[in-house]
Amino acid sequence: MTKPAHRMLHTAKLKSAGYDEQEKVLEIVFHNGQLRSYRGVPPEIARRLFAAPNPGSFWEDRIAEEYPVDTSRAPQDQDPAAKLNDLFGKPD
């Protein structure tokens, strides 16, 4: 499985998420550095997470306890531009 591209979520708990539609794996990176990979997540649930007004609440209500999960540490990003994008958002 290749690592899915992540989108910033800007919530108190969730930093970013990426979805691999072929593998049906939803990766969520938390602000504490934890990476959780949820298996068997339908594309509609991933789409709704990204579109939710409050992704953190959607994750708690519809994902956290519903799908098998693997937990690890997110890789440390050493790219200074990516760190600035995390803080201020990606420039247009």
Query: What pLDDT band is residue 90 in, cutting at 50, 70 and 90?
Result: confident
Q: Work out the number of other CB atoms within 10 angstroms of the CB of residue 21.
A: 13
Which three-class secondary structure state does DSSP give residue 17? strand
- Residues 25-69: pLDDT tens digits? 999 999 999 999 999 999 999 999 999 999 999 999 999 999 999
Tokens of 12: 């108190």
User: 């201020």: which residue's tokens?
Assistant: 88
Q: What is the pTM of this model?
A: 0.77
Pairing status of strand 6-8 against strand 25-30: unpaired
> Which of 69, 17, 90, 2 has its CA nearest to residue 47?
17
Domain spans of the chain?
6-75
Mean pLDDT of 3-29: 94
